[in-house]
């Protein structure tokens, strides 16, 4: 699965410009699905027919990533920018970003800011793309960029930009690859614009009208120095969501994931996330309500250019998803 993960995390795809990553994912799943389509907002839907008597199940992972958007170019060719999703100035100074046309820029910080001892605000940052004037600047207002980071592997730890949530996409793709039979009508949905408002999940789920929905996304951890207390650590299994700042997981969906993990001897953790939410929040309130839950991959340094997961958690997430889908829900 490493090469699949490498291709996913290294592909360009900020919120609202998911064309390239959608094409990569489509190439991976179209021969495995019974039907495949792109919905009006841009989410990719791969349907796998099940047997009789099963439920209509949505499995969702968002394919967009955080990034920046050019908001102004000055007369010397330096660009100002705004965030796409949860981008924080602390994590960006001196980093590199890449645009869809291949242009690479360096994030700089104003030298004469009011208080150089404090973390700069986003307004005090700029982008240097090597231009010398507004006229020769290769990027323009409205252009989007993502962080530049290849996949690095340290033992079982995988480090890259866009683990949030390309690692969830990898789990769904690998689940579809290994799935032999299921009683359920499955919709593997690779959603757009999660980072800016969970938009793709809401519209996709509305169109499908599922009986059950499960998101696969990353979550935080409590195993680094002086971290906030949290009962999630890398390498101890995928985390079954109980609650986050946007939703309480449906008890029946949570319980079936926990029980399948216990029955199969798959390590798992329980997740209560104080800050952040997932596509499950949007899906659970579609139409008259959808029983929804989330399977989370523990991830360090979320919303930075160097997000870290443990591949054992990724593998066990695939195993657990297969166990959940093989039986009644």
Residues classed as catalytic: 194
List all residues 6 or more positions away from 9 whose beta carbon is below 8 Å from its beta carbon.
Answer: 149, 151, 160, 161, 162, 163, 166, 167
């Amino acid at each position: 699965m490493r090469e699949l993960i490498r291709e996913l995390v290294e592909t360009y795809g900020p919120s609202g410009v998911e064309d390239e990553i959608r094409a990569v994912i489509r190439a991976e799943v179209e021969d495995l699905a019974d039907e495949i389509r792109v919905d009006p907002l841009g989410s990719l839907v791969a349907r796998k027919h099940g047997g009789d008597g099963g439920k209509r199940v949505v499995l969702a992972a968002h394919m967009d990533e955080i990034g920046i958007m050019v908001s102004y170019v000055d007369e010397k060719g330096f660009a100002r920018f705004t965030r796409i999703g949860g981008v924080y100035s602390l994590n960006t100074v001196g980093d590199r970003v890449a645009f869809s046309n291949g242009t690479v820029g360096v994030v700089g910080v104003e030298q004469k800011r009011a208080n150089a001892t404090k973390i700069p605000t986003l307004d005090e940052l700029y982008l240097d793309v090597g231009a010398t004037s507004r006229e020769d600047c290769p990027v323009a207002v409205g252009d989007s960029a993502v962080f530049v980071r290849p996949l690095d592997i340290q033992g079982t730890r995988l480090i890259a930009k866009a683990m949030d949530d390309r690692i969830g996409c990898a789990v769904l793709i690998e689940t579809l690859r290994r799935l032999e039979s299921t009683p359920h009508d499955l919709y593997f949905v690779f959603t757009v614009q999660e980072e800016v408002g969970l938009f793709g999940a809401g519209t996709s789920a509305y169109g499908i009208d599922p009986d059950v929905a499960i998101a696969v996304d990353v979550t935080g951890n409590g195993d680094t120095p002086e971290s906030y207390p949290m009962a999630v650590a890398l390498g101890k299994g995928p985390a079954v969501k109980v609650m986050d700042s946007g939703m309480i997981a449906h008890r029946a969906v949570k319980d079936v994931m926990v029980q399948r993990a216990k029955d199969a001897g798959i390590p798992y953790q329980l997740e209560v996330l104080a800050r952040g939410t997932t596509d499950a929040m949007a899906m659970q309130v579609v139409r008259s309500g959808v029983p929804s839950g989330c399977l989370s991959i523990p991830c360090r340094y979320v919303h930075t250019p160097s997000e870290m997961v443990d591949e054992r958690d990724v593998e066990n997430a695939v195993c657990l998803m297969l166990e959940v889908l093989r039986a009644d829900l």
